[in-house]
Amino acid sequence: MKFLVDFMLGRLHCWLCILGYDCLYFKREPFSGFKGKKDLIYQSLKESRIILSRDTTLSRKKALKLVLIKSDFLPEQLAQVFKTFDLKLDKNKIFSRCTICNTLLIRVDRLKVEGKVPAYVYQTQKEFSLCPFCRKIYWKGTHWKLVEEEIKKMLSL
């Protein structure tokens, strides 16, 4: 399942990314006149992505699949997506994708990241992942637990 998240839903995109879903953020450029609704639909068809949008003027007929997100609030938005697609929280998928470019991360040996991450991180963390595309290094750290708790709270709505 692949998503294309429309502008105005930046935080939802972030969280779906953190949770390991294949999702791209569609940044509209309303003033340049280039990236608009048509491009959104076109990209969704080309890449077989489900559109998540707040825009009620989008045509349901043209899109492959379009889900109109009802709420302005992140927890409800996330809950709607999970409910609509019957998604289950998969701990192993959390932080499995790069939050910048959506590429699947690969595990890297701890020794290879020495000097590339802050010293205290290197000393305290055992597991590291790398984005093979943009070379960003990830580690689970303490925020991993926070993310898990946060998600559980949100989905219990």
Q: Beta strand 50-53 with 66-68: parallel, antiparallel or unpaired?
A: parallel
Structure tokens at 114: 């020495």
CA dist., res. 42 & res. 62, Å (int): 9
Position among 133, 142, 143, 145 found at the interface with Zn ion (CB under 5 A)? 133
Least distance in angstroms from the C-beta of 69 to Zn ion: 25
Site for Zn ion in 27-86 (CB under 5 A): none
Q: What distances in angstroms separate CA 60 from CA 57, 63, 67, 104, 117, one per listed residue?
A: 9, 5, 9, 30, 45
Q: How buried is residue 86: exposed, middle or buried, by Cβ count under 10 Å (0-12/13-18/19+)? A: exposed
**Is 104 near Zn ion (CB under 5 A)?**
no
**Is 134 near Zn ion (CB under 5 A)?**
yes
| Segment contacting Zn ion by CB under 5 A, of 7-15, 27-35, 91-99, 108-116 | 91-99
H helices of 7-107, where? 10-18, 37-46, 74-84
Position among 40, 52, 66, 98 found at the interface with Zn ion (CB under 5 A)? 98
**Is 157 near Zn ion (CB under 5 A)?**
no
Using CB under 5 A as the binding criterion, the count of chain residues that bind Zn ion stands at 7
Position among 89, 101, 104, 157 found at the interface with Zn ion (CB under 5 A)? 101
- 89 vs 101 by CB, closer to Zn ion: 101
Closest residue by beta carbon to Zn ion: 98
**Is 89 near Zn ion (CB under 5 A)?**
no
Q: How is residue 65 annotated by DSSP?
A: S
**Is 131 near Zn ion (CB under 5 A)?**
yes
Q: How buried is residue 129: exposed, middle or buried, by Cβ count under 10 Å (0-12/13-18/19+)? A: buried
Least distance in angstroms from the C-beta of 110 to Zn ion: 20
* Interface positions with Zn ion (CB under 5 A): 98, 100-101, 103, 131, 133-134
